[in-house]
A and B are shown apart, each in its own frame.
Chain A
């Protein structure tokens, strides 16, 4: 197994290894395997070496470059990086270089991490397989003929392939948790508002949340420590201080009250191996002293419907700005309206167009109440149902995704089937609650299976503790 981020940082800070050495090793791994995995839209070898040298320089000068000193990180290519192309996997932004860094990118730099690349994604984070990238699909490092999941497939694959111990993704309806499960890594979607969205190219603003991928729960906690800070540039970023997640990590499940979410575990399409993994996870926790039972979150079954109205509606508005006027692609036209429409037709892929159309429709006069308005009310029901479940439980368990990684191309012709694969992840997105996927054994074809740990708002500490208990049991 590759070294963890925490080990690397400890070694670099203690001068047992140089940051440069660490980065060169990872760049070599990338060199060897990126051709077949295609996790990246851009590998920033030169910049990474430069940053690593600066980290080494500051250590030599007696300074502390931060808790992630010398740790190679990759970020999903929908997070702005100053002067570095940020494509969102779309032709419409090909070549665009943001004039600013996303807050999370700033935070990673301040923590001493070394940015190694921008990872592939479904165009504008819309998808569950990373096949919707304008720059080609990413392969699952466990089986290159299969998808890594999505939309943060590039980040998940990068961690699974050992390209970097840490990656950032964004999760709107499962886009961190689902690829984490399919690639056999840890993926955390924090509470909505825990991590600043400033500089994250918006898909669905009331759902989008940035979070880490890592090979261990402790590393994910370390990444959270770096990126989960208040940010006055994001009005929806919670202004209160966060706990120190690595420090707060405890072991053991003793005394935890754990509920298995019936509606998600029994949902249509959940494979027996996956259901089995959830049951086994519950037993592990029970054996560790937790009290486990089943719990109902009745409205969770409406999650997909509510999600596929709210997210496209917000997206239709968020993506209006790609009009060929200020940045990105332009396809000329004799008047501005024609130019806008041609640019968007040429620049957006099918899935993005589909969601823009769906969202525009859901918001349009005469349909708002039946679609968007109703979905927002369902959102309230889901929040209420979760609140009830959390009155008696500390954390909940569910599958992350109904199946193991599916084959490339298997679902591309059936958008609805693709959407249904988000069934287990969207409810906590709609509620704004934290949830994470932790690798828990394998399923069909010896492919990774993830178990999802759900927690109440801002209960990341107990969520991470539960995940760590599961991680220890399979180690």
Chain B
């Protein structure tokens, strides 16, 4: 649970985490019905549509106004978005 919360960048209180464990295990138990299905040789469906090669011409279009963009930001400085220090490498 801790690992998943870290991957999801959610800080959960102990209470929340505990409640979540209960709820999620209930749901995971329900989805166990899938384990019984014979899925040998069945391909996965990622897209419900058969479309392929949807492409866009390499032509420049409009961009947003920087002031408008930065006005929406919680914090900005110097024409950029400002964030607290970064501890990890990507």
A339 within 8 A of B: yes
Smallest beta-carbon distance B61→chain A, Å:
10
- Kindly identify, within residues 285 to 324 of chain A, every residue whose CB is under 8 Å from any CB belonging to chain B: 299, 301-302, 304-306, 308-309, 316, 320, 323-324
Residue among A239, A301, A329, A360 with the highest chain B CB neighbour number at 10 A: A360
Q: What count of chain B residues pass the 8 Å CB interface test?
A: 50
> How far, in angstroms, from A430 to B16 measured CA to CA in the complex?
31
A96 with B72, Cβ < 8 A, contacts A192-B48, A305-B34, A345-B10 known: yes
Q: Which A residues touch B24, using CB under 8 A?
A: 354, 357-358, 361
> How far, in angstroms, from A419 to B27 measured CA to CA in the complex?
9
- Considering the complex, give the chain A residue whose CB is closest to the CB of B20: A357
> How far, in angstroms, from A336 to B34 measured CA to CA in the complex?
39
A99 within 8 A of B: yes
A353 with B39, Cβ < 8 A, contacts A236-B49, A375-B34 known: no
> How far, in angstroms, from A340 to B74 measured CA to CA in the complex?
12
Smallest beta-carbon distance A267→chain B, Å:
13
Smallest beta-carbon distance A184→chain B, Å:
29
Question: Can you sample 14 A-B contacts with CB below 8 Å?
Answer: A206-B47, A308-B27, A328-B74, A336-B84, A337-B9, A341-B10, A348-B10, A354-B24, A374-B34, A377-B43, A377-B45, A378-B39, A415-B27, A430-B48
A40 within 8 A of B: no
Interface stretch (choices A15-23, A139-147, A379-387): A379-387
Q: Are A416 and B26 in contact (CB under 8 A)?
A: yes
Q: Which B residues touch A381, using CB under 8 A?
A: 37, 39, 42
Q: Are B47 and A324 in contact (CB under 8 A)?
A: no
Q: What count of chain A residues pass the 8 Å CB interface test?
A: 70
A364 within 8 A of B: yes
Beyond known contacts A327-B73, A337-B9, A377-B42: 19 more, CB 8 A cutoff: A99-B68, A99-B69, A99-B72, A193-B51, A206-B48, A239-B51, A302-B34, A308-B30, A316-B8, A320-B8, A330-B75, A334-B84, A345-B10, A353-B10, A361-B28, A370-B35, A375-B34, A377-B45, A378-B37
> How far, in angstroms, from A83 to B65 measured CA to CA in the complex?
13
- Considering the complex, give the chain A residue whose CB is closest to the CB of B36: A302
- Considering the complex, give the chain B residue whose CB is closest to the CB of A98: B72
Smallest beta-carbon distance A77→chain B, Å:
17
Q: Are A416 and B27 in contact (CB under 8 A)?
A: yes
Q: Which A residues touch B1, using CB under 8 A?
A: 357
Q: Are B54 and A235 in contact (CB under 8 A)?
A: yes
For B84, give its contact among A232, A236, A332 (CB under 8 Å): A332
The residues of A with any CB-CB pair to B shorter than 8 Å are 96-97, 99, 192-193, 206-207, 232, 235-236, 238-239, 299, 301-302, 304-306, 308-309, 316, 320, 323-330, 332-342, 344-345, 348, 353-354, 356-358, 360-361, 364, 370-371, 373-381, 383, 415-416, 419, 430-432
Q: Are B83 and A325 in contact (CB under 8 A)?
A: yes
> How far, in angstroms, from A353 to B13 measured CA to CA in the complex?
12
A337 with B46, Cβ < 8 A, contacts A327-B72, A416-B26 known: no
Q: Are B44 and A376 in contact (CB under 8 A)?
A: yes
Q: Which B residues touch A232, using CB under 8 A?
A: 56
Contact mask B15-42 → A, CB, 8 Å, 1/0?
Answer: 0100010011011101101110101001
A377 with B54, Cβ < 8 A, contacts A238-B49, A337-B87, A361-B4 known: no
Q: Are B30 and A416 in contact (CB under 8 A)?
A: yes
Q: Which A residues touch B73, using CB under 8 A?
A: 325-327
A356 with B8, Cβ < 8 A, contacts A192-B48, A206-B48, A431-B48 known: yes
Q: Are A345 and B39 in contact (CB under 8 A)?
A: no
- Considering the complex, give the chain A residue whose CB is closest to the CB of B33: A305
B60 within 8 A of A: no
> How far, in angstroms, from A347 to B20 measured CA to CA in the complex?
17
> How far, in angstroms, from A203 to B51 measured CA to CA in the complex?
21
Q: Which B residues touch A378, using CB under 8 A?
A: 34, 37, 39
Q: Are B27 and A302 in contact (CB under 8 A)?
A: no
A353 with B12, Cβ < 8 A, contacts A377-B44, A432-B48 known: yes
B89 within 8 A of A: no
